[in-house]
Amino acid sequence: LKNRYEDTFAEYQRLPLRLETASIIMKKKDLTNELDNIERDLDFLEKHQKIFIDNSNSHINKD
């Protein structure tokens, strides 16, 4: 997750300072959202020492 953050942040830093096209503006928005999500996930993992994963799949409806 930290490597993904570093890669995404490096890509963000390579964006031009002047955002002149719609595609560059959208790319910045997407990268900013991804960085925010990664930061939130990292914060969650740092606050919780133990995380349990339920692999039973009993909560999935099989209609």
Q: pLDDT per residue over 10-33, tens digit each? A: 999 999 989 899 999 999 999 999
Do residues 45 and 1 touch, judged by C-beta distance below 8 A? yes
pTM of the model: 0.74
Given this model, what pLDDT does residue 19 score? 85
Report if residue 33 sits inside a domain. Answer: yes
Report if residue 41 sits inside a domain. Answer: yes
Total tally of structural domains belonging to the chain: 1
Residue 22 sits at the vertex; the CA angle it makes with 3 and 20, to the nearest 5 degrees, is 95
Domain that holds residue 20: 2-47
Report if residue 57 sits inside a domain. Answer: no
**CA-wise closest residue to 14 among 5, 23, 24, 4:** 24
Report if residue 52 sits inside a domain. Answer: no
What gap in Å lies between CA 9 and CA 11, rounded to an integer? 5
Report if residue 11 sits inside a domain. Answer: yes
Do residues 8 and 34 touch, judged by C-beta distance below 8 A? yes
